[in-house]
Amino acid sequence: MNRRQFVGAGMVWPFLLMSPPVRAAAKLNEDVSTVDEAALNELLTLSLPDLKGTAVSLRDLADGRLTVLNFWASWCAPCVREMPALDALHQKQASVNVVGIGLDTVANIEAFARKTPVSYPLLTAGAGKIALMRRLGNPKGGLPFTLVLDEKAGPLATILGEIAMDELAAFANRHA
């Protein structure tokens, strides 16, 4: 390498280090053996407040349709990035029910919903439900986390990280 190439290469490295990393979408995991049955029953018996303060039963929301439960927080960039695609899935496929479960403060979720409205229900669970989320197949407690339930509210798949929406839509088409 001559001096000019060496200096040129040295000028490129800082820009490469500053560029955002390429993010691979999380894979849909159909091995639901890590989903604790007692934790799933506990989740389904919860009544969580929606943005109007009305208690909503998760079992009622999950009954009879393929249900995508998406655990998220307003400060989680991958969570926010995947919400428009989840909204599109909810609107395009009537046989699929999407529910957002916010592990955040009510004030943060309300402020987020005013800026970025979605057509699916946003429920507020607060940070206190992170332990429950870990028992649902997310041992590290990372966000976003998605749990896909069948029409009888049994676990079909989990997704830890930002969703590969084409993969989820294809999965939903096969199971809805």
Query: In terms of residue numbers, what domain contains 142?
Result: 25-175
Give the pLDDT confidence of 47-72 residue by residue, as tens digits.
Answer: 999 999 999 999 998 878 999 999 99
Compare 4 and 69 and report the one with higher pLDDT: 69
Residue 147 lies in a domain: yes
Residue 120 lies in a domain: yes
Residue 126 lies in a domain: yes
pLDDT at 134: 96
Report strand pairing: 96-102 vs 66-72: parallel
pLDDT at 138: 96
Could you tell me which residues are beta bridge partners of residue 145?
Answer: 71, 160
Residue 10 lies in a domain: no
Residue 4 lies in a domain: no
Using pLDDT thresholds of 50, 70 and 90, give the confidence band for residue 22.
Answer: very low
pLDDT score of 146 more than 90: yes
CATH number of the domain encompassing residue 158: 3.40.30.10
Structural domain count of the chain: 1
User: What is each CA distance from 42 to 4, 7, 50, 58, 135, in whole angstroms?
Assistant: 65, 61, 18, 10, 10
Rounded Cα gap, residues 145 and 157, in angstroms = 11
Residue 131 lies in a domain: yes
Structure token digits, residue 3: 């001096």
pLDDT score of 45 more than 50: yes
User: What is each CA distance from 126 to 4, 44, 100, 106, in whole angstroms?
Assistant: 56, 16, 12, 7
Residue 152 lies in a domain: yes
pLDDT score of 43 more than 80: yes
Give the pLDDT confidence of 83-142 residue by residue, as tens digits.
Answer: 999 999 999 998 999 999 999 999 999 999 999 999 999 999 999 999 999 999 999 999
Residue 137 lies in a domain: yes
